[in-house]
Structure 1
């Protein structure tokens, strides 16, 4: 599978994407497994960053593929299949997040990032996961789509159904919050000029 952060148009897979889109419109049953293989991990990663629950993220992937199956004719551009699936997954995740009023505070082991060198979560990854969980769901969605899925600001705006300026603002504010989370003593990275041995 190609690196999930590489934009769809540069993966060298336009023929595969076009075939999957055609098979989806034709409602060929095998296409669901192929879509899951091609996009499942990325969809689950984005969903997890929004809902913060692995089981919910897996259900969102399945809901996304079912929605794609039934709404395949809504896909206007075969080359935009990945972005279209991410839009569906994001909407399902945000909807699920709104329905669930309580927020789980216990972290799961780590944010699932592609090509992790080890199965053991690093302290930094745990801190990032904790800081991400403190962001509002739409900010988390913008971060997940832009920084993890590699979508451009206009693509993220299209997926979330908002303006590019709103996305830029959300990304800027989210990054500021994440940076601030690491400046709090005991919560993350310390200032290199400051001593922490007191």
Structure 2
């Protein structure tokens, strides 16, 4: 959940606050949890809502690449990977909120389309469309790295 909040908000402190608020809200709402979805999906939904609430109050800040630093260190040329990760961070920051959220939940959190749809209160068809648009935008922005 922290990684998801971090990538949505582009700020470690805000992400920590959102995740903490999400856990508090979940704890308080646990009697209302009906079990229609998995607990994981429910928690991600709460986290996403808390992130949206914070985004409404604050202006987004630039992204840093903490979520991908381990990937940069594993390759044969860390400088190249670090540059790619910086470019990916910048490209993700330029995506609209819904495309970025869908991409992060699918590619980073490995959620199914149905789980993402439940988390973001939309349909799997919308999720697939937003993911396709997000991937196309990322492909275009990262074409120099191919």
- Report the TM range for the smaller structure's normalisation: 0.7 to 0.9
Deviation string 1:128-174 (CA, Å, 9 cap, x unpaired) is 11100001112111111111111100110011001111111100000
Q: Give the deviation of 1:182 after TM superposition.
A: 1.2
Residue in 2 that maps onto 1:181:
141
Is the CA contact (8 Å cut-off) linking 2:113 and 2:128 kept in structure 1?
yes
Q: Give the deviation of 1:104 after TM superposition.
A: 2.1
Is the CA contact (8 Å cut-off) linking 2:6 and 2:15 kept in structure 1?
yes
Instruction: Provide the rounded CA distance (Å) in 1 between the counterparts of 2:26 and 2:93.
Output: 28
Q: Which of 53, 56, 61 is matched with 1:104 structurally?
A: 61
Q: Give the structure with the larger helix fraction.
A: 2
Alpha carbon RMSD of aligned pairs, Å?
Answer: 2.3
Q: 1:143 to 1:63 in 2, by over 3 A?
A: same
Residue in 2 that maps onto 1:95:
53
Aligned residues: 141
Within-5 A mapping of 1:156-171: 156-171=116-131
Structure showing greater radius of gyration is: 1
Q: 1:99 to 1:84 in 2, by over 3 A?
A: same
Residue in 1 that maps onto 2:99:
139
Unaligned runs of 5+ in 1: 1-42, 191-198
TM-score (norm 2): 0.86
1:56 maps to 2:14:
yes
TM-score (norm 1): 0.64
Residue in 2 that maps onto 1:5:
none
Deviation string 1:72-109 (CA, Å, 9 cap, x unpaired) is 12222398111111111111112211222x3324x42x
